[in-house]
Amino acid sequence: MARYIKNTLITSILPVIGTLISCPMVAYSITKIPWKGGKYLFPIILMTMMIPSMVTQIPMYATWSKLGMLNTFIPLVLPSFFGSTYYIYLFRQFMKSLPTSVIEAARIDGAGDFRILYSIVYPMCSSILTTVAVMVFIACWNDYVGPLMYLQDSKLYTLGIGLQMFKNAAQPEWTLLMAASTVFTVPLIVIFFFCQNAFLNGIQTTSGIK
DSSP, residue by residue, 118-154? IIIIHHHTHHHHHHHHHHHHHHHHH--HHHHHH--SG
Q: What is the pLDDT along the chain (210 residues), one digit of tens a residue?
A: 888 889 999 999 999 999 999 999 999 988 888 787 777 888 888 888 888 888 888 999 999 999 999 999 999 999 999 988 999 998 988 888 888 888 888 888 888 888 888 888 998 888 889 889 988 999 999 898 999 999 988 889 998 888 888 777 766 677 777 887 888 888 888 887 777 676 666 555 554 433
Domains of the chain, with CATH numbers? 2-207 (1.10.3720.10)
Give the residue from 87, 79, 85, 83 showing the smallest Cα distance to 11: 79
pTM of the model: 0.85
Whether residue 131 contacts residue 203, with contact meaning beta carbons closer than 8 Å, is answered with yes
Neighbouring C-beta atoms of residue 10, cutoff 10 Å = 16
The size of the chain, in residues, is: 210
